[in-house]
Copies of this chain bind each other. A is one copy, B any other.
Amino acid sequence: MKPVQVGLLGIGTVGSGVFNVLSRNQEEIQRRAGRGIEITMVADLDTARAEAIVGGRCKVVKDAREVLANPDIDIVIELIGGYGIARQLMLEAIDRGKHVVTANKALLAVHGTEIFEAAHRKGVMVAFEAAVAGGIPIIKALREGLTANRIEWIAGIINGTTNFILSEMRDKGLDFDAALKDAQKLGYAEADPTFDIEGVDAAHKATIMSAIAFGIRVQFDKAYVEGITKLAAQDIRYAEQLGYRIKLLGITKRTDQGIELRVHPALVPARRLIANVEGAMNAVLVQADAVGTTLYYGKGAGSEPTASAVIADLVDITRLHTADAAHRVPHLAFQPDQMSDQQVLPMSEVVTSYYLRVRVADQAGVLAKIAGLLANAGISIDAMIQREAGEGEKQTDLILLTHTVREGTMNEVLAQMQALPTVLAPITRIRKEELA
C-alpha cells in the first residue's frame, strides 16, 4: 500500500522532532501502522532552516497554501501556533478535506468549537494529543481509556516551566523572580514567559481536558486563571511545615452546580504522588467513578516528547482515514449531537479550602478577631501556625488552613479581615486541594 503523505506546516522545535523521529523510527512505525507514513512537503517561512533539517528528503516551500493545495497530501500537521494564520490554515485544510494534526492548544481552547464543527461537516479528523501534556497520551486515556467512567475531576501539572520554577523555589529557597531567571538561563522559560507564568498555557490545556471529560464545549473565556508570579518563598516554606507542596494546577471538576475550570497555585498534600512531580515534568490526575484515581506522568514539552504525540495521532489517522466516520473516536470524546451545554461556573461559586498568610500586629486579641470573622462566615479552621515574633519585632505571620467554603464567601471574609487595623499587609491567599 502506498504511504500516507503528510504535509508539515512549521518546522521549528516540535516540527523538526516530528521529522526526525518519523525518519529514525520509520520501520518500527510502519510495522505498527501497517502502512508507511511520509512527510513529503514542509512549509516554513525560514526555508533555509527547513532545508537544513530535511536535508533534501522532502520538498520545502515557503507558502503553507502550497501544501494545502497539493492533492496528494492526506494529512496536514499544523505546528505554527497562535490564533491567527494557524486558524485560517487549519480551516482551509479541513475545507480541502485534509485531516489535521496539531499541537496548538491556544487555538483549540479558543476556537475549538468552530474547528471541530468544520471537521465534522467535512468528515475529517482533527487530532490534538500533542496539545495537552506533550508526550503523555492523556487525550487518548481520557477519550478512550476511561470511556466506562463518569469522570469527576481532573487536576494536572500541565505546564513544565512553572513546575520547574516552583521546584527551584522549594529546593533552593528562592523567590519567584530569582527562580524565573534560573529557568530562563537553563532554557526552561522563554524570554517572554508571560503565557506560562500567568497560567494561560495551563488554562488552554485544562480547557481542552474539561471539554473531553464532561462533553462540554471549550470555554476558555470562562476559565479562572491565576499564575505563580505572586508566590513567595516563605509560603512554600510554611506549606512544607504543614505537610503540603505548592503546585500550579489546572483543575476541572463536575459539581451539581456546574463545571469548575480553573488554574491557580494550590497546596497539595506532600504524600500525594503528584506533589512529588519535580522539575519540568507534567502529570495529570484523573478521578473517575469506576476506576478511581489514575495518574499519567511524563514530559510535557520538548521536541521529541511532543513529536511522540503528533506521530501517535498520525498513526491513528492512518488507520482510520478510510473508515466510516462512525468508526472514529469523536473529537471531544462524546458524539457531536451528544454534547452537553453545561456552563463553566464563575470562580465565586467554586468550593475549595484555603491557605491564608496574614501579617498582623503582635498584640493581644488579634487572633480572636480573625478567628471570629471566619467563624461568623461558617468557615472552620483546619490548622494554624503563628510564627513567634522576633526580639523587638512588633509584627508576626499568622498562617491558617481552612476547611472548604464557597470562594465568594471567602472573598467577603478576606475583605473584612484586610480592613482590620491590626492586619498590616495584603493577605496572601492560596487555594488548597486534597486531591482525594
Question: With an 8 A cutoff between CB atoms, is A147 at the interface?
Answer: yes
Q: In the complex the two chains form, is B308's CB within 8 Å of A148's CB?
A: yes
Stretch at the interface among A40-48, A57-65, A133-141, A197-205: A133-141
Question: With an 8 A cutoff between CB atoms, is A299 at the interface?
Answer: yes
- How far, in Å, is A250 (CB) from chain B's closest CB? 18
Q: In the complex the two chains form, is B312's CB within 8 Å of A147's CB?
A: yes
A34 to chain B: which residues have CB within 8 Å?
Answer: 326, 330, 335, 338
- Taking CB atoms and an 8 Å cut-off, the chain A residues in 323-347 that contact chain B are 323-324, 326-330, 333-335, 338
A296 to chain B: which residues have CB within 8 Å?
Answer: 294-297
Give Cα A144–Cα B144 distance, bound, in whole angstroms: 11
* Contact A292-B298, Cβ < 8 Å, known A29-B148, A148-B29, A334-B31: yes
A292 to chain B: which residues have CB within 8 Å?
Answer: 135, 298-299, 304-305
Question: With an 8 A cutoff between CB atoms, is A13 at the interface?
Answer: no
Question: With an 8 A cutoff between CB atoms, is A28 at the interface?
Answer: yes
Q: In the complex the two chains form, is A290's CB within 8 Å of B135's CB?
A: yes
A273 to chain B: which residues have CB within 8 Å?
Answer: 273, 276-277, 297
A144, A334, A338: most-surrounded residue (chain B CB, <10 A): A144
Q: In the complex the two chains form, is A144's CB within 8 Å of B312's CB?
A: yes
Q: In the complex the two chains form, is A312's CB within 8 Å of B148's CB?
A: yes
Q: What is the chain B residue whose CB lies nearest that of A316?
A: B144
Q: What is the chain B residue whose CB lies nearest that of A141?
A: B137
Interface string of A299-332 (1 = CB under 8 A from B): 1000011011111100110011011101111100
* Contact A25-B298, Cβ < 8 Å, known A32-B335, A304-B290, A319-B329: no
A276 to chain B: which residues have CB within 8 Å?
Answer: 273, 276
- Residues of A bordering B, CB below 8 Å: 17, 21-22, 24-25, 28-34, 129, 135-137, 140-141, 144-150, 215, 273, 276-277, 288-299, 304-305, 307-312, 315-316, 319-320, 322-324, 326-330, 333-335, 338
In the A-B complex, list the 8 residue pairs whose CB atoms are closest, starting with the nearest: A137-B145, A148-B311, A294-B298, A135-B291, A31-B338, A291-B308, A295-B297, A290-B308
* Known A32-B330, A319-B326; 4 more pairs at CB < 8 Å: A148-B312, A290-B307, A294-B296, A295-B297
